[in-house]
A = this chain, B = another copy of it.
Amino acid sequence: MADHLAVLNMPIEALQRSHTVTSFEPFTLLSALSVVTEKIGLVATASTTFDEPYHVARRFASLDHLSSGRAAWNIVTTANPESAKNFGLEEHVDHAERYKRAREFYEVVTGLWDSFADDAFASRSQESGIYFDPSKLHVLDHKGDNLRVRGPLNIARPVQGWPVIVQAGQSEPGKQLAAETAEAVFCSPKDINAAKELYEDIKGRAEQYGRNRDHLKILPAALVIVGDTVQQAKEKRLKLDSLVHYDSAIASLSIALGSDASGFDPDAPLPEDIPDTNASKTGRAGVIKLAKDEGLTVRQLAQRYGGYAGLAFVGTPQSIADEMEEWLDKGAADGFTITFPFIPEGIDDVTQKLVPELQKRGLFRTEYEGTTLREHLGLPRPNNRFFS
């Protein structure tokens, strides 16, 4: 679940068309969903820029207990400059500083999750009145450059040990953070070659930190549109794109660029002199590349971003399975983060048409192999760093 800590900064003509102005706060919504679902993972975005590690560690631990081990943390820095103003700051925190704090924040949160040994409560007994074994409680006492947090956390170790760590930034420090910390990477490579490069880059870096490359799953976002024929699927996509209002489209382009694009000439190419900002650098570079690669006008580019500008598999169950198999075989992905074009039909197309084809090829499980999100993703349960 993506998240923003502000109403996004857009021209009012675009803002009034944007559903992003109102959304549930992730922990409340995912906690509600935890008790009415049994299998799905619950990935909450939580910012390391404008929150406290004690709060974040606690909420994830709580969600992991409520969901019997299905929580995951999409660890982000907050790039939207408007957010700073909602948290007492006039100037936005610098990109590099945000990532330094994020790295330390991660150390503190995971350290807090390890406050109790897994068996700290095993000795609980009505007879003795003992609730837990104090020798199995660790006081973190972290004192770092950005954070001072004593601990211990006031909740038992999460069911998964740690909720799964998910990361999505693709800037240089973003990839570095992923290599050091992430267990699943949500990314948006443009094509299979870009994906292979990213895959090797992040896994290579992870190995330099002594990590097992299989314990870091690269899961590109992929829009899946299924038709009875490839032609029918393509027509479905064209229909969907045509429904995007231009005002929304140009707003999406503004967000992707981190700059207001509403003054650009819609029928000219993207201007060369877009002002630099502290917002996400990766997104911005991607827009400029897409515009150049495909020679799009501002209008065409905006309509692409107003719809879905990332990786898309558009075809029959067989053609899509072929493409996915190629990505998996060639070391471009360990799986995909499926984006449904609309619901419920988009979900049904995947579960009822695409998944059976993937199962036939041995590319998808036929039964759940465990109960936690970690187990669904084939990730090991982390040891407690303070207790063996």
Using CB atoms, name the residue of chain B closest to A148. Answer: B88
Verify B21–A27 contact, CB threshold 8 A. Answer: no
Q: Does A22 contact B (CB under 8 A)?
A: yes
Verify B130–A21 contact, CB threshold 8 A. Answer: no
Verify B35–A151 contact, CB threshold 8 A. Answer: no
Interface flags, A10-47, vs B, CB<8A=1, else 0: 00100111111111110111011011100000000000
How distant is A248 from chain B, measured CB to nearest CB, in Å? Answer: 7
Q: Does A129 contact B (CB under 8 A)?
A: yes
Chain A interfacial residues counted at CB < 8 A: 65
Q: Does A132 contact B (CB under 8 A)?
A: yes
Q: Does A50 contact B (CB under 8 A)?
A: yes
Verify A17–B130 contact, CB threshold 8 A. Answer: yes
Verify A24–B86 contact, CB threshold 8 A. Answer: no
Using CB atoms, name the residue of chain B closest to A36. Answer: B35
How distant is A277 from chain B, measured CB to nearest CB, in Å? Answer: 18
Q: Does A131 contact B (CB under 8 A)?
A: yes
List CB contacts (< 8 Å) of A287-337 with chain B. Answer: none
Given the interface pairs A15-B134, A121-B22, A154-B7, the reply to whether A28 lies near B59 with Cβ below 8 Å is yes
Using CB atoms, name the residue of chain B closest to A16. Answer: B134
Q: Does A51 contact B (CB under 8 A)?
A: yes
Bound complex: CA of A21 vs CA of B130, how far in Å?
Answer: 12
Q: Does A374 contact B (CB under 8 A)?
A: no
Q: Which residues of B contact A173 (CB under 8 A)?
A: none
Bound complex: CA of A88 vs CA of B31, how far in Å?
Answer: 28
Q: Which residues of B contact A50 (CB under 8 A)?
A: 52, 54
Q: Does A379 contact B (CB under 8 A)?
A: no
Q: Does A245 contact B (CB under 8 A)?
A: yes
Bound complex: CA of A28 vs CA of B21, how far in Å?
Answer: 23
Verify A19–B131 contact, CB threshold 8 A. Answer: yes
Verify A18–B131 contact, CB threshold 8 A. Answer: yes
Bound complex: CA of A104 vs CA of B12, how far in Å?
Answer: 30
Q: Does A373 contact B (CB under 8 A)?
A: no
Bound complex: CA of A15 vs CA of B19, how far in Å?
Answer: 48
Given the interface pairs A32-B34, A88-B147, A154-B23, the reply to whether A5 lies near B54 with Cβ below 8 Å is yes
Verify B54–A154 contact, CB threshold 8 A. Answer: no
Verify B54–A16 contact, CB threshold 8 A. Answer: no
Verify B150–A62 contact, CB threshold 8 A. Answer: no
- The 27 sampled A-B contact pairs (Cβ below 8 Å) are A5-B154, A6-B154, A7-B153, A7-B154, A17-B130, A18-B131, A22-B132, A22-B156, A24-B65, A24-B155, A25-B27, A25-B58, A25-B155, A27-B28, A27-B31, A28-B28, A28-B59, A28-B62, A31-B32, A32-B34, A35-B35, A35-B36, A52-B88, A54-B87, A88-B147, A89-B148, A129-B247
